[in-house]
Each structure stands twice: as structure tokens, then as C-alpha cells.
Amino acid sequence: MFRNAQIYRLPKAWGISAEQLAQYLAPQTFTPADNMDMQSQGWIPPRESSNGLVHPVNRQFLLRLQTEKKILPSSVINQVTRERATELEEQQGFPPGRKQTKELKEQVTDELLPRAFTRITSMWVWIDPVNGWLVADTSTPARAEEALKLLFKAVPKFPLETLRTVMSPAAAMTDWLASDEAPNGFTVDQDTELRSTAESRATVRYVRHTLEADQLRQHIETGKQCTRLALTWADKISFTLTDALAVKKIALLDVLKEDAGAVGKNDDERFDGNFALFAGEMGHLLAALVGALGGMLNESEAA
């Protein structure tokens, strides 16, 4: 279900129900942007057949954040503003000053907004209150922050923390490549990136290329560290791990695709079955990944 994962921690056995969470999120329900708004953002039902903002399956919660943005290029605003400024100069006999130009630009923006195109995007958020995970399906932390800001505003004393591990992903991935040995349960695939820690930031990338241990060691010996590495876990899920502890390019392998295809008789059952399958396997993957990185930095607090 997810292609990417920005990963955060919640306390294990976090005592919140789907009904409570839905009540907290209700004031943030998505409403379309009006003529004068550049953007509108809020929660929508994860399933079109349901009105609930929180979709629970086996104590796993699925949310969906929707964003509507007006597409109004600055080049268009600036062009129309220049035209208006020329007209104003002809009328008053001298060019408009900085304040007048700013007011013209604001006026032009207000006039063009109702005619602007809109772009609507959505983002999945998975919350596992049992094992203490929150995962946003986005490749960038900035997009995840949009969802987190709403959650912090909606949920009283929202106990979210950044995931931190004993070993940094860069150090661990570099060690795996240098030793030509992946952690237990994982295999190294054919994509990686190594970047110099020196000012030059020299970078070497391998894409669908056999990773030769001797070549990789040479790069590492010259001061490069691994910043992203393609891995497969338990022959079930392939993904790319980054030095920022983000998981990208998530793909279910054939064994899980077969399980997903056999789940449910109708759309609702298949949706729930696929979500349950994803949450279960992804939860195991995250636990294994944290273990491969030496465990959580503040294990006692995270527990």
C-alpha cells in the first residue's frame, strides 16, 4: 500500500481508540479551498465507502491526508503586475513605488486566484498503537511534517518521537558493504550510493549493477560512506534504506503479492486484508531493521 516510509515512534500499547482519534481529527476534516485560498488541507476517509476519518483493522489505524493547492505561477503574477504598473505609470506620470507595486501584486493575485487550476494530492498515514509506529507514505520529511503538525494540533499531548538508532544508517550500511555481509534476514540488492564526507561530496552510484566488494572497499577507504542501499527483507519486501533512516521504493515480492491477491471477496474485504497484511509485514520489517541498526537509542523510553 505504501511506496515510501518516513518513520516515527509512539509509546508501545499507546492507549487510544480509533473512535477517540477520529473525534480529535474531526475539526480538521478536509474542506475544498475557496476562491481566495491558495491551499486547503485536511483529513478524508481512507475508504470512499466509509465516512470515518480513521480506518481501523486489527488495532492498526489508517489515515489519509488530502491537500488541494492552487496552481498560480509567479511568472504569471509578475507579468500581469508589470502590465498594470505600466498602465499606472501612464495614468499618474511616474512609475509606481515599492509600496504601490506590492499592492498591485496583491491585487493581481486576488484577481487570478479564482481562475487558477488546482492540484489535489493525498498521503497515507499508518499508525500502529500496539507496537508504537507511525509511518507517513512520502519520500520527503517535509511532506510528513504536514501531517504531523495537524496531529500535534489535534491530539492532546501527542507522544510522537523521532526514531533514533544506536548505529547511524550510514555507518551501518557502510559496514555491511565493507564486510560484504548483510544483517540477519536481509540481502543486499544491486542499487547503492556512496558519498564522500570531504568537502567535494564526490558521489558514486550503482544502479541495477552487481556490487563488487573489492570496488566498494576502495571507495570506502577513500572516505566515502553509504548514503542509500537497496535491500530485501525475508524474501518478502524490497526497499531502499537512506542515511536519514527513511525507507523508499517499497515493493512487495511475489510471495506477498500472492497472499494479497487471495485476500477477500469484495473491495472492502480486499482493502482491509491488504492493509492488515501490509501492517503486519511492515511492522516485522521495521523491528528487524531497528535491530540491524543496534536497537533504539533510547530503548527504555521508546518501550
pLDDT at 263: 61
Q: Which residues of the chain have pLDDT under 70?
A: 255-264, 299-303
- pTM of the complete model: 0.84
Handedness of CA 70, 146, 287, 60 (dihedral sign): negative
- Using left for φ > 0, alpha for ψ between -120 and 50, and beta otherwise, residue 263 falls in beta
Contact 230, 240 (CB under 8 A): yes
Alpha-carbon span 272 to 177, nearest angstrom:
38
Contact 276, 128 (CB under 8 A): no
* Residue 185 buriedness (CB in 10 A; 0-12 / 13-18 / 19+): middle
- DSSP-derived letter for residue 147 is H
Which residues, other chains included, contact 73 with Cβ-Cβ below 8 Å and sequence gap of 6+? none
> CA torsion angle for 98, 99, 101, 106 (degrees, to 10)?
140
Alpha-carbon span 33 to 170, nearest angstrom:
42
Beta bridge partners of 57: 60
Number of C-alpha atoms within 13 angstroms, CB side, residue 5? 27
- DSSP-derived letter for residue 177 is H
pLDDT digits (tens, 9 = 90+) for 58-81: 999 999 999 999 888 888 888 888
Which position has the grid cell 499592492? 103
pLDDT at 150: 98
| Helix residue ranges per DSSP H, 15-115 | 18-25, 74-92, 98-112
